Structure 1
Amino acid sequence: MTDDSVLFRVEGRAAHIVLNRPRALNALTHTMVSRIDEALTAWEHDPAVETVVITGAGERGLCAGGDIRSIHEDARSGGTASADFWRDEYRLNARIADYPKPYVAVMDGIVMGGGVGIAAHGRVRIVTERSRVAMPETGIGFVPDVGGTYLLAKAPGELGTHLALTGEAVGAADALLCGLADHFVPSDRLPALLAELADAPAHEVVARHATEAPGGELAGHREWIDACYAAGTVEEIVERLQGHGTPAAKQAAETILAKSPTALKVTLAALRAVPGLGSLERVLEQEYRVSCAALTAPDLVEGIRAQVIDKDRNPRWSPATLAEVGEADVARFFAPLGERELALTQEVS
């Protein structure tokens, strides 16, 4: 059978990738990642292709992330399919960031998890009034990956820490503020923009259609976000949020306390390590260690069960509280993998 989960076409000087699983909100599979990588290889060496564009089929969004039902089954069975998928997915994320031709990501609608990975590392990142961008991993007992910790660590002040711990989805203006996108284009202008890419360079086309985004929310919350999330531990962050006095800060504390305690502590440690790692490749290597460790931790299976499989929204985290998650529990997520390392920096050195 022909796989149509990703569609490819070339129109004039622009090559198009269309994620084509609209019923699954274009969630990524290993096959999709492999096919995208093959297309990027072909177009990189095709002088007729000047621009690469990625969009999602359907009306709901570009991509809601990876196929977490498959990850749930793999984690329960102790398989290697998820680790194999992440290996190729993270390599693709690094490749997109380093792609020699303009890579235009149309981040219309929902863009979460793996969707951020195939979009927000591109050279030209477009959001619309319908965009909802998030790294919601802590809610399923996982940790932001696909270079998400790299992107969030570079956001102004502590905005990235806030988004990583809460998993909050942001609109266009806040995605721009946090460095997750570059341009706002109203959704009704997208058809014209995509058509014009066939005949003109991406920067010229985007400049014709981009405009100022409607106002966001995070800029007005910078005072309490920067003050509270600068704390050294998740416990202290929550304490500061609860004691700040701003309703939004208290709500953020409640949101955080509903997430996996282990995932929260590992996420904060991963974010704080990013400046010392430097390159996206080294951060992806760290994320690969963390993701592989999550496969053998109880919270990933339980989180996906509660949110996606049974949908009771009542995960039973283990350990159940932040106080019960010790330094050794966090450290094991960063332990070297030996021969199983992602080793991207060796490939690019």
Structure 2
Amino acid sequence: MFRAHQHNRRCPAHHPVPTRIPILPYRRLRSRRPRRPPTAAHRPMSENSTPTTPIHTWIGVVTTILAPTTLITALCYYFGYIYTRKKLAFFGVDCDALGFTSSDYVRGSVTVLYAPLLFLLVGWFAAVWVGDYARRSIRTGQRPHLVRTIGRTALAVGTAFMLTGIVGVVAAGYTASLALISWVFSPIALGVGGLLAVGGYWALTISTTTPSTHDTTPTARVSQVLVISVIVLALFSVMHSFASWLGDNDAQTIAHNLWAKESVVSVVRAERLDVPANLIAETLVETPPGQPPLFRYECFRTLVARSDLWVLVPAKWSTDNGYAVILPADSSLVSLSRSTDFKDIAEAHTDIVTTPWQCPERAPIP
């Protein structure tokens, strides 16, 4: 039996020896259907890549340019200087002779920059939302020919506007009659043309490329930088014109309200002033014996009041008969008084040219 058993073990034909079959891990069967290319929402991103949109790109450019505090302070100083200089020049006073500090000009720029900055922020907010809505509408692929036509038209019109603005700036240097075009029409044409060119190029780029192939070429980047520079320069020129206009307009308002102003100024000093008798009333102040005489001057209105000097103009000031005086604060005794009677008399005598007195406070109060 032992041999038979050994014989059987050696004969696999009669008694096959079982072998172990390795068990493979279970694998999930995949579908044989062709896979669709991943969309922009499901496209895998690397760890260092971040999604960028045109809106984020423009916000980054603007914050990079406007973020430095030094640049903002310099702009406030410049526009405050233009506003102050234009306002005082209307009365024949040079602001450089008054020794204003940088803080004075920066405070003066608040009047100039408030309305433009509010308009700019509202416009930027509207542009962000309109641009995002337009981008999503263009991505849907509806009416691609219309979108491309609008983009080409905006690009062509924007280029024409920028060329017109450049021609206006160049021509104004040779012809004095075109100075108004240079300061009003040319900046607006350059700014609007730049915005149309940027919007048209952006619409063409979005409508003709897919999200996976949307990449800005170096030529396009240079063009965008140049167009942004043109827009910034045009905005700077518009702000310069606005500051000049606002200073002149505020000066006219101040001059119109001098006669009916309730607060009046009187100056008492030992030295006699060379003032016009039809504008300023001069009287002699009684002093004790042995002291030099003092002179009182009335009918002044305050234009600039500082700790070291005063800039005064008469109540009857006009462009044809203007007068202003700069007094050091330590050489004169300046007194201020306020009364509603002065305003009532001024409103009753609006014709300041034919009145027999230099100012309402000199009139007999009933």
Q: Which TM-score applies when normalising by structure 2?
A: 0.19
Larger Rg: 2
Higher relative contact order (CA 8 A, sep 6+): 1
